[in-house]
Amino acid sequence: MSSFTPPSLSVIIAVLAALLAGFLLGRMGRDKGDPSDFSRNRPPRPVRPAPSEPAAVFQDLPTDMPPEVLRHLEAGKLIHAIKALREAYPGMGLKQAKDAVEAYVRRNGLS
């Protein structure tokens, strides 16, 4: 069985110095606009258009809600009403359906 001898202090200092030098040299290259720095070469993100107003979204829909939506609203099940509206109008987004149902509730005084 062989016994383990710990490395000498000079070896540990040499390894730490090499690591520090590599880190600092790598940082200096990036500060000068090194092409390997991908965060600076990324194109800017496109700006999203502003969300439409709830009233404007609801004007595109008929004034009468589908009977399934009304049944859920009378039962106080807002989430089910939103889901039923999206099923009645395929392609409608979740936010559009939510805004439309909430506008209908406000306009007709439902709770």
Q: What pLDDT is stored for residue 32 in this prediction?
A: 55
pTM for this entry: 0.46
Residues 66-108 have pLDDT tens digits of: 999 999 999 999 999 999 999 998 888 899 889 889 988 888 8
Which one has a higher pLDDT value, 38 or 42?
42
Please give the span between the terminal C-alpha atoms of the chain, in angstroms, as a whole number. 82
Mean pLDDT check: name the lowest of 3-7, 41-45, 52-56, 79-83.
52-56
